[in-house]
Amino acid sequence: MKKGILLSILVIGCIYLHAQKPTAKSKVRYDTIIVKHVTKSAAKPVKKVTKPVEKPEIVLPVPEYINQPYYYDKEGNKLIKLENATALMVTKKKTFGLKGAKQFLSMDASSSKIRFTVKKDIVFFIKTSGDVIDLTSYIKLYQFVPADQKREVTINAKEGLINDKDEAKGKLMSFSVKMISKDNYMIQLPEQLEAGEYGFVWVKNMGLKEFTVFGFGIDWKSSD
C-alpha cells in the first residue's frame, strides 16, 4: 500500500517537471552600448597673437605767452623760453649820404645767454592772439653779427653815388610755419643753422625805433 502511494507521487512529480520545461530555448537579452572608436588627431598648437604696443600719444606743450617764440625740446617734450632783448633801429648815412645809407638793428651784448650746442633740427613754437593771417609777414628771423660788444643786423641798405665796400651785417633767414592747433604754430627751418647769433623780430611796424628780439645762439662742437 505504501509502495503504491510512493509510486503515484513519483509519477505525478515527473509529469509536473515535464510540463515546466520550455518548448523553445529562451533567449538571453543583454543591454549593450556600442561606442565607436574615434582616433583623435594631434591638437594644433595655438598661435599667440602679439598685439603691437601702442605708443602713448604725445601731447605737445603750449606756449605760455603769446607772440613769443619758444624753442621746442623734443626729447623732453618741453618749451624753452628764448632771450628777451631790446634792439634799436639805427639809420646811418655814410659820408653825408654819398656812400649811401643803411638801417640796422643793434642790441647790447655780443652773444645771447640762451645757447644750443647739440647738432639737430631746431624747431620753435609760437602762440598768437588769433588775428595773425600770415605769420611770416609779422615775424622775421635774423642772423646777427657781434660788433663792438653788440649784436647787429642790416635791415635796409641804400647805395650812394660812391661805391662802398662796407658789406651788410648779418642776414635774413627763411623758415616755414605749420599750424598744430588753434592759434598755435610750429616754426621749422629748411636747413641746419650754422654757428652764430640769431633772433626773432616782430616787424609789423617798421616805423618803430625799438624792437623786441627773441634771441638765441648756436655753438656747434668742432667734432659735429
Binned at pLDDT 50, 70 and 90, residue 223 comes out as very low
Binned at pLDDT 50, 70 and 90, residue 65 comes out as very high
Q: pTM of this prediction?
A: 0.68
Give the per-residue pLDDT at 134.
78
Task: Give me the mean pLDDT over the 184-193 stretch.
Answer: 88
Lowest mean pLDDT among 43-52, 129-138, 180-189: 43-52
CA distance 195 to 116: 9
C-alpha cell belonging to residue 213 = 628780439
Category of 207 on φ-ψ map: left (φ > 0), alpha (ψ -120 to 50) or beta: alpha
Give the per-residue pLDDT at 199.
96
Task: Give me the mean pLDDT over the 41-45 stretch.
Answer: 65
Binned at pLDDT 50, 70 and 90, residue 1 comes out as low
- Beta bridge partners, 126, equal 185
Distances (CA, A) of 122 to 80, 139, 199: 12, 17, 13
- Asked whether residue 59 carries a pLDDT value surpassing 60, the answer given is yes
Task: Give me the mean pLDDT over the 27-44 stretch.
Answer: 59
Q: What is the DSSP string of 137-196?
A: GTEEEEEEEEETTEEEEEEEEE--SS----PPPSEEE--EEEEEETTEEEEE-SSPPPSE
CA distance 82 to 202: 14
C-alpha cell belonging to residue 50 = 602679439
